[in-house]
C-alpha cells in the first residue's frame, strides 16, 4: 500500500465580491494559531489580491521549513494606503 506524503485540496474558486476602496491597498494574508501574516502585495485592487491567494499559499508552503504553512487559512486583507507593511515575499527577496 502506498503512503501519501502530502496532499493539497484544490482551492475553490472565490465567490467573494471584490471590495472597491481607493483609500486602501490589498494583500494576500495567512492566519494560523491566532497569528497573521502579510504574504503578497500590495495590490491596488481587492480583485488582484483575490486572484493571487493561491500563489501566496504556494509560496508560503514552498518556503516553510516547519511545514505548518499548509494548515494556515489564506485570504485577503487591506490597510490604509501608505501604511508600512513587510510581507513574506519581501523577506524572501532580502535573504
At residue 92, φ and ψ (nearest 5 deg) are -65, -40
Question: How far is 59 from 15, CA to CA, in rounded Å?
Answer: 22
- The total of other beta-carbon atoms located within 10 Å of residue 70's CB is 14
CB 60 within 8 A of CB 86: no
CB 52 within 8 A of CB 28: yes
Q: Is the pTM of this model over 0.75?
A: yes
pLDDT digits (tens, 9 = 90+) for 63-72: 988 889 999 9
Question: How far is 62 from 39, CA to CA, in rounded Å?
Answer: 12
pLDDT digits (tens, 9 = 90+) for 3-50: 766 777 676 665 778 888 999 999 999 999 999 999 999 999 999 999
Q: Which residue has the cell 505548518?
A: 68
Amino acid at each position: 500500500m502506498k503512503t501519501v506524503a502530502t496532499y493539497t485540496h484544490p482551492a475553490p474558486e472565490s465567490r467573494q465580491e471584490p471590495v472597491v476602496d481607493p483609500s486602501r491597498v490589498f494583500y494576500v494574508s495567512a492566519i494560523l494559531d491566532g497569528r497573521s501574516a502579510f504574504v503578497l502585495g500590495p495590490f491596488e485592487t481587492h480583485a488582484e489580491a483575490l486572484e493571487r491567494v493561491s500563489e501566496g499559499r504556494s509560496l508560503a508552503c514552498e518556503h516553510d521549513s516547519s511545514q505548518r504553512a499548509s494548515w494556515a487559512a489564506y485570504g485577503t486583507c487591506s490597510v490604509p494606503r501608505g501604511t508600512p507593511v513587510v510581507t513574506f515575499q519581501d523577506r524572501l527577496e532580502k535573504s
